[in-house]
Each structure stands twice: as C-alpha cells, then as structure tokens.
Amino acid sequence: MPLPAARTPLAELTPPIALGALDGRYRGAVAPLVDHLSEAALNRARLHVEVEWLIHLTTTEVVPGADHLSADEQAALRALVPDFDAAAITELREIEAETVHDVKAVEYYLRRRLAEILDGESDRTERLAELVHFACTSEDVNNTSYALMVQGAVTEVWLPRARALVDQLSGMARELAEVPLLAHTHGQPATPTTMGKELAVLAWRLTRQLDRVGGAAYLGKLNGATGTYGAHVVAVPEADWQEVSRTFVERLGLTWNPLTTQIESHDWQAELYADVARFNRVLHNLATDVWTYISMGYFAQVRGQGTVGSSTMPHKVNPIRFENAEANLEVSNALLDVLASTLVTSRLQRDLTDSSMQRNIGTALGHSLLALDNVSRGLAGLDAVPEAMARDLDANWEVLAEPVQSVMRALAARGVPGMTNPYERLKELTRGRRIGQAELVDFVRGLGLPAEEEARLVALTPASYTGLAARLVDHVG
C-alpha cells in the first residue's frame, strides 16, 4: 500500500529538515567542515579577499593619488571577517536577491561596511568605495576564496583527523607486532606473518598519502577577465601589475599562478583530490581487511559496544563502523574523482561548470571525514584474539613446506648431496591435503639434513615462522 496522499509536508517544517545525511544523521561528525566549505564560509572567504585587496591597493599605493586607510580603519575592515555572523549572512542574502550575483553582493556588502567605518566622510567613502573589487573579475575573488577554504578544510580539519587515525593504527601495529597470524594469499593459507606487521603495512601506505596531501600547493590568481591584466594596465599603466598580483596572492598564504585564462586552472585541486581519493582507497582496504579479520574471529568487538547488533539475533555485534566507512569512502571517491576529472577543463577562456562543481567539495570531504570517524571508532572497539589466530596457525602446518624446501635449496647450492628436487618433493607431501606436525617432522628427519638444519626445522612451527615481521613494524615509528 503506498504512502497516504494527504500527509504533513516535511519540507515545510521548522527547523528545516536536512535532505542529505551529512547535514542530518551525521552532522556531528562533519560539522567542523561547515566553517570552511559551506555557502556561508564561501561568502566569508570572499569578504576576506575583497577586504585584503582593498587594503593591498591602498597600502602599496598602486593607484596614484588614492586615499590611504589608517591602521584603525584597516583593523576595522579586517574585523568584518571574524565577526561574520548570522546577521551578515542574512544581509548578504537580501543583497543577492537584488543583484542576482553572489560576488557582486559581497562587493556591495563591503561598501556598506566601509561607509560605516568611515562614518561621516562621504567624499572619502565615495572615493575608496571605487577601489572595492577594483579591476577584478568574479573569478579573481572566487578562485582565491576556494583555495583558502579548501586549504583550511584540509589542513585544519581533514588532515588532523586522518593523522590521528594513522597514529591510532600505528599504535595497534606496535601492540600486536609479535602476535603471529596465518596469512591468506588468494584466500588460501600462506606464509605466516604477524597482525602488527599487516596493520603496519596499511599505516605505512596511509602515511605516504598523507605526506602527499600535506605537501599540496594551493594556487591563486588575480589577473582580470581573461588573465591579461587588461583593465589593470589601461587604468594604471605605470603599475607593475604582475608584482601587485603576486604579492597579494602570496600574502593570502597561497601560491601565485602567473598564467591563466579567466579562471585559475584548478589543476592543484585535481592533484589534491586525487591524493585524498587514494588515501580513501587505502582506508577502504583497511576497512575490508579488518572486517574480514573480525569475521575470522581474529578480533572481538567488545569495547564500547553498548549497541544493538541485530534486531532479531541477540548474539550479534555487527562490524557496522567498517561497513559504514566503506560506503562513505565510495561516495567520497565518486565525488572526488568527478571533481578531479572535470575541474581541469574549461571551454576556451571560461565556462561556469566549475562553479557548480566546486560546491560539492564539502560533500566529498565530508563523506571522507565521516569514514575516518567510523574507522577510528571501529578500531577503538576491537580486542585482538591471539588464541583464534593460534588455532588457525596450528591447523595449517603445510605452510612450513616453504621453509623446508628453501633450506634444501640452499644446501643443494652448497653441494650437499640428497637435496635435489626440493620443491617437487614438498609439493608431493603437501599439495591438496593437510598435514600435521608429526608428518612434517617425519619428513624432515628422513631428508638426511645436516644436524643443525634438521634441528632448526624440527623446532619450527607455523607460529614461529614469521621472519622479520615483528621488526618491520618499527618502520611506522
């Protein structure tokens, strides 16, 4: 039976109900990104760029004869950015309803505030107001604003969370460095390792990607409608506009892009999003591996699990944190991939596809941040079960065929007689069937090995056959 046709329209309720999960169910995990990547954050960043451009023009005396701003006036202008609040958001929305242009609305908003700061100086206000957004195209403001926003979101929110997770994983690796684990290659029992070493592999991989993200360059430009400084040069021909642009962009804390069309090319964004997506993919690998270890009984979900695992099966504690992370990483990567692939293309000197596309950056990073939160909480609820790992090791003595035949090959290479065809002989013993300790020991003792090698192999167990695994964990610090 379908839903009733007459029902309360949820879209009309107040406070407004979120359409998406990030602003609804998962708001708490991703809320810090609102300060960087929301529409309000974009307008605040635009205001910051416009204020700094006005101050830059006046302090560097780019326009001959233009009025200066006093230190107090500069401070008052700069205070508009940290003081940007609900009232400012509302006022900007009202201005934009008239301008039907978001950047122009910010320009008019700043002109109003400038008039208030220069209270009573109408002539001076009129003159200085003409330097607000002087010689700028909207993209001069937008590209620098987005660069600042993404820089803040990554360096102040995403990276610290990601690094904390990798530190957590590295700590687990160190704790479990010597806990032997039956490896599985192609899903089949394989040369033993340790749980710590396997977690360390993932921590190492994640760290490499974080280093790339941490080294990202955030580019910006300010060069006019088609990147030629056309309006700038005609207005003030004697100014060194490239130097004015470079110093301004660098004072914003960005890397100057000297050669663009109307838009900054966004290549840096594509590079950054590809790196974040690669981190996400490694994290997805971690989630699926840990999920599998849980299903094998190698980890127990015991701590902080005051939850209902199944609505019908009381015994269950489902690995929902890792499953939630998988889903969110896949959504994040779908968005990051399309951002990276589309933002690098713009028809001729400008089209507006990037404008709509960039509004999804917060959603892309939000789903990644949510996955980080879930993986971290999932790992925090795990206890290793060495006994379960030991049982699987003890049930798979055939994995010692590898070290036995390796010893035989080394002896054959030294000319010791009777060591021929070691691989084939071990294959005959172990292929397609299980063997136990007794069968392996009998086989070793029948090989005619030198006493030292025989004693070493007879003493070997699947649990002790882990090579340098425990020491390798040291690579994650």
**Of 186, 311, 315, 356, which is the active-site residue?**
186
d(CA 294, CA 301): 8
Annotated catalytic residue 186: yes
- Note the maximum CA span of the chain: 105
Q: What is the CA radius of gyration of the chain?
A: 32
- Using a 10 angstrom Cβ sphere, with 0-12 exposed, 13-18 middle and 19 or more buried, the burial of residue 347 is exposed
Identify the bridge partners of residue 301 per DSSP, sorted by sequence position. 382
Rounded Cα gap, residues 274 and 180, in angstroms: 35
Q: Can you tell me the distance from the alpha carbon of 50 to that of 451, in angstroms, rounded to the nearest whole number?
A: 82
Polymer length in residues for the chain: 477
- Point out which residues pair with 256 in neighbouring strands: 220
Q: Considering only CA atoms, which of 46, 218, 220 is closest in space to residue 133?
A: 46
Report how far residue 401's alpha carbon sits from residue 424's, in angstroms, rounded to the nearest whole number. Answer: 11
Query: At 219, is the secondary structure helix, strand, or coil?
Result: strand
Query: What contacts 278, CB < 8 A, 6 or more positions away?
Result: 209, 212
CA distances to 247, 292, 302, 353 from 384, rounded to whole Å, are 55, 13, 10, 49
Instruction: Cite the DSSP H helix spans in 397-450.
Output: 401-413, 422-430, 437-445
Catalytic one of 70, 122, 310, 341:
310
Tokens of residue 75, six digits: 């401070």
Let me know: does 473 contact 196? Beta carbons within 8 Å.
Answer: yes
List, as own/partner pairs, every contact residues 301-308 make where C-beta atoms lie below 8 angstroms and the sequence separation is at least 24, other chains included.
301/381, 301/382, 302/381, 302/382, 302/383, 303/380, 303/381, 303/382, 303/383, 304/377, 304/380, 304/381, 305/381
DSSP string, 21-48: STTTTTHHHHGGGHHHHSHHHHHHHHHH
In the chain, the N- to C-terminal Cα span, in Å, equals: 59
Specify the 3-state DSSP secondary structure of 176: coil
Cα–Cα separations (whole angstroms), residue 426 to 382, 400, 421, 432:
38, 9, 9, 12
Going by C-alpha positions, the residue among 233, 234, 241 that lies closest to residue 56 is: 241
Give me the active site residues, please: 186, 310
